[in-house]
Structure 1
């Protein structure tokens, strides 16, 4: 089928084309508590085709993308390609060149879904549970993906890598109530120690949810983030240096300039990483065929390089860019223990925590928090936090201790000052 699609594209009126063919071998396991309810092995193929069409005057280049079923007939495929060409001709993007092939051999990554599944199951079976704190159910999806990428520009690469997804529901109960907490984990392979630690923390959070009192209305507080919600903060920095955001003026950050003036807190250093242990984003090439590299993008608060796709990078006159996959934020100046010594609100459960990459607005409704006053801790729930990363970026502090969430290795704890706490009392 792939050869048929390539022949149809070559014979079409497309000015350029891009094809990605993914073969996915996935193991799925469904557990109720620790009893296997069902399992299955799934093999699927996904073929995505992009066609490019220039305007009659050659000033514009449009594109359109669609998945083509590997069981489609020749006539069905021809019709889809013609439809894509029609759609692409309506798009008026200023002309840009496409990625060219690079002579680099792809890296090889361990992608055995049976081994990955076994690691997840062994870890879940090793969680410390009690009569009142336990795992309700969990589902494991461990995949080996073989991706072939071909383009009219001569790119022809094959990469194989793991992608996994785990869902876990925990329960905590007393004589009157029961609290259910949900967790999901994206990864490549299984980080046993990190997963065990996080699920056992979640069990403890469920226990504490049974003991909460209404969050007081305190006005301005220091907000500590110590869970995966902190990624919203770090993604803000990564997004602001996206060439697409800069070109479309959704970000005003510029190369060679600091992301904020009068920075009094820790200054961010953010780097692209080709490889991080257990990441689902380990790859030699990005989705367009550009070579992914270890590279410092923000150093000590100053933007050094932008990342992004070929279209927006070319509009900004940037060479050697690529689409960010893994990233790492350098450690902060204080240990986690030192940051935990002051007065702050640590929120570990939100209904939804958001940091808007365009406006910088911060918002989250509190489901479980720990209010530290320097000598005692109050377990709270309800109310919300709000603020702006444009302000918080100037005074934020983060730990020298590090942790990893799939494709991001970041400080374990980040503290944002002068965040508004609206209480539930």
Structure 2
């Protein structure tokens, strides 16, 4: 399925899609070179926005939680990619302990855990699911709406190994983004922990990711001869904000003003008549929390109490003191008159599919990762890996291929980003 692109401003995007399609051999060669230099994260998902004149990533998640939303036809792709990923991090692996989020009441998330468990088992691994919840003191089975079930077991620490009853795994796979910090039980393990603990939000920052992405986008744009802005949102950071006490608002307003100014110049260059907007989001965290859209710098100086409260705390009660100011990218894709944005899933450096995040009550310039969104049954019909050289640049296989390329650029950025953390003692100390 591909949604309708509801805009007449498709010229620049068609040119971009055409450039990507024409440069496919050079792009794939360049990406192969990147994976020789950088180790791909075990898995990731990338949120893209397609404005009809720009196609850019707006978020990269290193603990993806929507494997249940992928097209079932692409299960073999997932299994093969998982085999490759496991061989790299732990060639001897026979058993993997999966550590999920603590969302035991979120059946949609638990269906993701079940789907991920199935992929790993089909990749030839014994898999058990260990819960970080202290109230999980015995194994319990949770039945899911789709007819599947998962068994959650209490985690046990034996020396420097993480186990569950009767199972000593070769590796620990996290599907928990560590927003609340790194639990003691996960520190100092002798087993490989994937992704590494530094990939969690207790350490990771979106600004570092987009700094790395900016470098990748510049190099890629030079490779295929395009304006890097077409695939790269402007951004800035403000590291001394306190929404509750109204400190740092002037810094935030100045960054918003600068971003909007730069976007206006680009809009004039491309003849775009839309009004620029910026997204202010917590520099650490996920689930669409701590996000607001602004169209003028004055808006961040005039936040009411409820708005400041919403921005001050994100998932797991984490207080927000660092924010990312990012160029807002419109989404002009829609499904059944509902606004949609593509989400691309990767295991190792392989694209394994994607789906559309759809929201019936949000607009083209709003955050779609919010209550009321839905995914199923909007899984991609093609795998993002097989462009149609005889088709138009915007036919489904070719648009999906463009999605896969930009998503893999974000994955390269994530690989570079993760390489930087262990070299900084103050960050490494947080997970020592």
On whether the aligned pair clears a TM of 0.5, the verdict is: no
Radius of gyration: which is bigger?
Answer: 1
TM-score range, shorter chain: under 0.3
TM-score by length of 2: 0.22
* Structure with higher strand content: 1
TM-score by length of 1: 0.23
